[in-house]
A and B are shown apart, each in its own frame.
Chain A
Amino acid sequence: KQEVTQIPAALSVPEGENLVLNCSFTDSAIYNLQWFRQDPGKGLTSLLLIQSSQREQTSGRLNASLDKSSGRSTLYIAASQPGDSATYLCAVRGSGGSNYKLTFGKGTLLTVNP
């Protein structure tokens, strides 16, 4: 059974700092990995999707990397802003017959202080 772990559970940084969020998964047989942002009490916004054959994806100040063999992904946020404050969720999609299912981590609660 796939398990996804996100470290740290919470992070508080001053505005302007670069930061890294970590995600690890136990089964390396994944189809893809997706990073989401969730604002309090709201739905999920897709940030980046990395296919299993890719090493990284970039969107603006965000960069996500994937090391499938070691079961790890990182989300790098450059020059953080107060508007980046949210919970960041990592999810992996299994390969094979269960490739429509997403397994989520518990998330990292990020607070960026002005």
Chain B
Amino acid sequence: SAVISQKPSRDICQRGTSLTIQCQVDSQVTMMFWYRQQPGQSLTLIATANQGSEATYESGFVIDKFPISRPNLTFSTLTVSNMSPEDSSIYLCSVVGGAITEAFFGQGTRLTVV
């Protein structure tokens, strides 16, 4: 299994500002994933972050709004830029462990934009 530490756990931000969320894993992983969970909804994949290359974004998500860094095999950041109330969600970092590809998640960042 993998242990994932995500910071901050929650934040309340003003519209128009940006927030950077950090994700630290206790082991080296090839791919890290960022998900969004809007209120009352299920999880939606934002992007896949590989070390040493640009992140791959899913349909509906763009790099200017959600820039991602992946400086090494244990760390990644997701920035939510120019925030609006519609960005209020839980953001989750995830990795896949081992040959059986079991997914593990951080504890999430609960973002409220006012």
* Chain A residues within 8 Å of B, Cβ to Cβ: 31-32, 34, 36, 41-46, 49, 51, 89, 91, 93, 99-102, 104-107
Q: Are B45 and A34 in contact (CB under 8 A)?
A: no
Give the docked Cα–Cα distance between A46 and B4 (Å).
13
Whether, in the assembled complex, B62 has its beta carbon less than 8 Å from a beta carbon of chain A, the answer is no
Chief secondary structure at chain A's binding surface: strand
Interface contacts (Cβ under 8 Å), in number, total: 56
Instruction: Enumerate chain B residues within 8 angstroms of A93, measured Cβ to Cβ.
Output: 101, 103
Chief secondary structure at chain B's binding surface: strand
Min CB gap B22→A, angstroms? 14
Q: Are A43 and B48 in contact (CB under 8 A)?
A: no
Q: Are B43 and A104 in contact (CB under 8 A)?
A: yes
Q: Are A91 and B103 in contact (CB under 8 A)?
A: yes
Q: Pick the contact of B101 from A36, A100, A107 — CB < 8 Å? A: A100
Given contacts A32-B102, A104-B43, A106-B42, 9 further A-B contacts (CB under 8 A): A34-B102, A34-B103, A43-B106, A44-B94, A44-B105, A46-B105, A93-B101, A99-B101, A100-B33
